[in-house]
Structure 1
Amino acid sequence: MSLRHRLLAASTALATAAVGALVAVSLTASPAAAADDYSAYVMGYFKESPNASGDSYALHLAVSRDGLDWMPLNQNDPVATPTEGMGGLRDPYLLRKQDGTFVALATDLKGRVFNLDNQYIHVWDSTNLTSFTGYRRVKLHSMATHSWAPEAFWVPSRNQYAVIYSAYNGTRDVFMVNYTTDFVDMGTPEVFFDPGFSVLDGDVLVDGSTFYLSYKNLSDSNLYVARSTTGAPNSFTTISGGLRQGDAIEAPVLVKSNTSSTVWLWGDSFAPANAVVYGWQTTNVDGGSWSAMNQRAFTPPINAKHVTITPITSAEHDALVDRWGAPSWNRLKSSNYPDRYVRHAGNLARIDPFPMDPTADQQWRVVPGLADSAGVSFESVNFPGRYLRHSAYNLRLDPNDGTSIFRADATFYPTAGLGDSSWTSFRSYNYPDRYIRHSGYALRIDVLSPSSPATARQDATFDITY
C-alpha cells in the first residue's frame, strides 16, 4: 500500500504512515528470475546538488513498485563507496547476471573535475544488492583516454557479457566494448559504436532477440535510440529522431515496463549539478516516436544523477527495504507545478523548483498531529522541533512553543486531493473550511471546497512522496 493511500486510510494509520514500516522478507541467491516474475524496480545513482552540499560520489539505491515513483533507501545515503583510484564514482550501472546475482560497475571519478586519462572502472559483486563484495578496479584498455559510463549486457551468441563505455579514439568519442565472463578478465577492447560523430553514455536494452542502444550525440546534444538484431559491434542503426528536454540532456537509459508494452527512456540534465531527470515513453520502440512525460507522472530520488534501473521481484524489493530502510521523511510535490516542492526558506513555507539547496529544506517528518493524532503535522528535518503552522493564514516554520494554539495551527487533516483524488489536500484543524494551498508560490490556508475554481483546487493538491 502506498504512503498516499495509508494517509487517506483510517485515523490510526494517519499517525504512523510516514514511518513507512515494512515487512521484512529474507532473500537468498536464486536463478535469474523470469521476466514474468518482475514486479518492481531498483535504481542506482550518484548525487549532485547546485551548490555541491548534496554531492555524493558513491553508489545509492532506490526502489519502486511502478517504475515511476521512487523511494530512496538508506535515507538517501550511500550503500557502497569506492576505496581505490580516485576514491569516488560516477555513472553506476547495475546488471543482473545469468545466475540471478548482480554486478555493479561505475566510472572511476570523484567530483566535478574529470580525469580524461583513466583506463579503469570500479566493480562490485552482489548476491541481491543487500551487500556488496569483491570490490575491485579492473582495467579495460591501455589507451590514453577515459573509460566513462560503463554498462553491460549479456550476449547469448558469445556466451559472454559485453561491457560498453565511452572513450576517445584520437578523432572523436566512441563506444568501446570488452567481453568478459567474470568481470575480472576483461578481454581485448574493440570499437562498439562509431557513427561518425562523437557519442556519449551508451545504454543497451535487450528485448528478446533485439538490442536497443540509447546514446547522446555530442554534435547536437540530443538523445537517440538505435537498433540491432545481433548486438554485435557496429551493427546498430539509429531509428529515432533527436530527443531533448531542458537546456541540455545526457545519461539515457532504456527501461521496459514490467506490466505493459511501455518502454521508458530516462535522461538527466547536463547542466552542472542540475539533478533533474526527464522522461519519454513509447509502446513501439521500432516506430521511433517518443512522447515526453510530464514531471507530474514520476518522482526520482533527491539529487539523483545518471540513473541505472533494473527490474526485480517483489521479494527482492522487500528485502532491499528491510536491509537498507525506508526514509524517515517525505516531500510534498505540487500538483500543478510538479517541478516544485514544499520547502522552508527564511522560516516561510513556499514551493520552489527542484533541485534546491540545502537539500533538507524540502524534507519533512510527517508526524501525528500535535493537536489531534488523527491529523498530521510537518516537522522540519534540518530544524528539528520546528513545524509548519499557519499564522495570519500564512504558513511558517516556527518552533513548537507548547501552547494549544500552536498545536492547533500546526495540525492538518489529509483528505482526497481537491484537484486530483489520487493525490492529497490538507485541511486546517482549527479552520476546517481552509486548506493549504500555494499562491504566488507562497503557502497559506484559504477557504476551498470541491466547488472552488479548478486552479485553486490544483493549488491545494500535493503528492506525498520522497
Structure 2
Amino acid sequence: MSVVLSRLAAILVAVGLIFTSLTLGNTGRAAAAEPGYLMVHFTGDSATGQTLYLAHSTDGLHWNDLNGGAPVLRSTIGTRGVRDPALIRSPDGSRYWIVATDLCIRCGSTYEKGSPSLVVWESTNLVTWSQPRLLNVAGAIPDGRNAWAPEAIWNPETNDYVLYWATNATLNGVLKYRIYSARTSDFRTITTPQVYIDPPGATPVVDTQMTEVPAGVGKYRYVRVSGDGRNTVEGSNSILGTWTNLGDLSSLGLTGNVVEGPVWMKFKDRDEWALYIDYNAPNGVREYRPILTTNPFDVSSYRLQEPTSYDMGGTPKRHGAIMSLTAAEESRVLARWPSTPAERLQSYNFPDRYVRHTNFDVRIDPDVSPADDAQFRLRPGLAGSGTVSFESVNYPGYFLRHADYDFQLAHEDGTSQFAADATFRKIAGLADPSWSSFQSYNHPDRYLRHYAYQLRLDPISTATGRSDATFRVTN
C-alpha cells in the first residue's frame, strides 16, 4: 500500500507541476504588454507650440508626453512653423513621412494669407528624420491661396498614396475651402490636384481624415470625417470613388468651430475605434477628446467620452495623427525620446560663459539670449554605450558635432560618421575632477575645449588647455 501511495503522490506532484507551468506560462503571456500607440501633434499658436511633439499610449486613451513634453521636430523652412501633422507608414514598413501645414500664426503668417506648400519629413526608422522640405501642392490650383491640414493614405487600386488637403480658392465664382487631392509615390512630386470634396453652395470644408476598416465591420471599406460645420461622416469602398453620407456629429453637440482635426484610431486589442476630435471646450481649453464606437459606419453608436475616462498628458494635443506601433518601432521611439532634462555647459575658467549655438556655430558666451541657445539634452551617445551626445533643446534633431576639429550644431543625418563625430566620453574634469571634460569618441586624443571663445576639438597638454576643456553640467 505504501508503494502505491508513493506512486500516486508522485503522479499528483507531477500533474501539479504541469498545471503550475501552464498557469505561469499563460500569466507571462497575459502580462506581456502589447505595443502601444504614437501620436504626433502640435500644441497651439505660440512659436514653440507650432513645432511637433510626440506622445505615447499603451491603451490608446491615456497618453504620456515623450521628450519631457518638449518638441521633437522643428521646421527651419517656409514660415518656420508647422501644424496639423499627418504620419504615414509605407505598406512594407520601410519608410515613414510626416506631412504638415506650413503655417506660423503670430510669427509672420496669418490664417488669411498662408503658404501654398506643405512641410515634409522622411525617415526609415521613425526616429531619425530628414531635413524638412517643402512640397508645393496649391500652386497648381487656380487662385489657390494656401494648403492646410494634409492627410495621406495608401491606395491599393493605384499602388500609390492619395494626398489630400484643404485649399482656399475661387471655383465657379465661389471662394471657399475645398478638399483637393493628388497622387504621389514619394511625397516629392504629385499629380495635378483635383477637387476631392466640395459641399454645395458656400459651405467650406477642411480637416478631412479617413481610415480603412477591416472587412466584416460594415458595408464599406473606408470611413472619413470632414470639418464642414457639421462634421459629416461618410463611407466608401474606393478612396477615389463615390462616398455615401452616413450622418454627422451634430447629435453629440459637435458642430461649427467647436471641433476640428478629426483622427481615427483602431484599438489593437478589440473591435473598437476612437475618433479623436480637436475639441474647443467651454472652459477655453482646446485639445483632443475621444469618441468611441464599435462600428464607425453607424454614427448613432458614437459615444463622446467624459474627461475621467481618458488622459491626454501634460501638453495640449492639437490636430495630429495616431499610429499603432510594432514592438520594434515602440522600442526605438521610447529609447530615442526619454524625459531627459535640459542642461547647460558652464566654462571652468570663464564661469560667466556657457556653451551656446548661434547661426549653427558653437562658442561660449555670457548672458545668452535666447536662453534656449545654451541648453542641451545629454542623450545616450549616438555611436556607443557609456557615451553622450549633445542635442539642442530649441533645434531638436541637431547635435554638437565636430568637423575638421571645429564645432557646429548639425542635423543628425543617420550616418555612422555623424554619430561618431557627435559622440563623447564624459570623464572627470581635466582641471578639476569635480567638474567634467568630454573626450572625442573617434579622436580619443582630443577633447572638447574653447579657444578664443570658439569651441574646438584639440589635444590637451597644458594647464590652460586643461582649464579650457573643463565644464560643469548644470541646469
TM-score w.r.t. length of structure 1: 0.58
Kindly indicate whether the alpha-carbon contact (under 8 Å) linking 2:138 and 2:167 is maintained by their aligned counterparts in 1. no
Tell me whether 1:86 sits opposite 2:83 in the alignment: no
**2:179 corresponds to which residue?**
175
Instruction: Give 5+ residue unaligned stretches, structure 1.
Output: 1-36, 329-466
Task: Give the Cα separation in 1 of the matches to 2:284 and 2:74.
Answer: 20
Please list, as runs of the form range in 1=range in 2, the aligned pairs for 1:14-413 lying within 5 A after superposition. Answer: 39-48=35-44, 52=46, 55-100=48-93, 101-112=95-106, 113-142=110-139, 143=141, 144-170=144-170, 171=174, 172-196=176-200, 197-208=203-214, 210-218=221-229, 222-232=230-240, 235-243=242-250, 244-245=253-254, 248-270=258-280, 274-289=285-300, 290-301=302-313, 302-326=315-339
Quote how far apart the aligned CAs of 1:151 are. 0.5
Letter in 2 for 1:149: A
Q: Which amino acid aligns with 2:305?
A: M
SS for the counterpart of 1:66 is coil
What are the Cα deviations for residues 320-373 of structure 1, in whole angstroms up to 9, with x where unaligned?
111110477xxxxxxxxxxxxxxxxxxxxxxxxxxxxxxxxxxxxxxxxxxxxx
Match of 2:392 in 1: none
Query: Structure 2: any 5+ residue segments left out of the alignment?
Result: 1-32, 216-220, 342-475
Task: Name which of structure 1's ranges 263-272 and 132-141 shifts more when overlaid on structure 2.
Answer: 263-272
What letter is aligned with 2:236? S
- The DSSP-based 3-state class of the residue aligned with 1:39 is coil
Deviations 1:279-326 (CA, angstroms, capped at 9, x unpaired): 211101122221111111111131221121011113322221111104
CA contact (8 A) 1:48 1:273 kept: no
Deviation of 1:38 after TM superposition, in Å, equals 7.2
Aligned-residue sequence identity (percent) comes to 27
Q: 2:120 is aligned with what amino acid?
A: V
Consecutive aligned runs of 4 or more in structure 1 exceeding 4 Å deviation: 270-273
Task: Check conservation: 2:138, 2:146, Cα contact below 8 A.
Answer: no
Give how far 1:195 is off.
Answer: 2.7
**Whole-Å Cα distance in 2 between the matches of residues 300 and 319 of structure 1?**
22
In 2, the alpha carbon distance for the partners of 1:48 and 1:128 equals 27
Per-residue Cα deviation, 1:227-283 (whole angstroms, up to 9, x for no partner): 1111115x2222123244598111111111111111111111347983332221110
Root-mean-square deviation (Å): 2.5
Alpha-carbon distance in structure 1 between the residues aligned to 2:266 and 2:113:
33
Displacement of 1:123 after TM fit? 0.2
Aligned length: 286
Residue 130 of structure 1 aligns to a residue whose secondary structure is coil
The TM-score normalised by the length of structure 2 is: 0.56
For the residue of structure 1 that corresponds to 2:68, the secondary structure is helix
Identify the residue that residue 352 of structure 1 maps to in structure 2. Answer: none
Distance in 2 of aligned mates of 1:277 and 1:248: 11
Q: Which amino acid aligns with 1:40?
A: G
- 1-side partners of 2:181 and 2:122: how far apart? 20
For residue 306 of structure 1, what is the amino acid of its counterpart?
H
Provide closer, same or farther for how the CA distance between residues 327 and 63 of structure 1 changes in structure 2, counting only shifts above 3 A.
farther
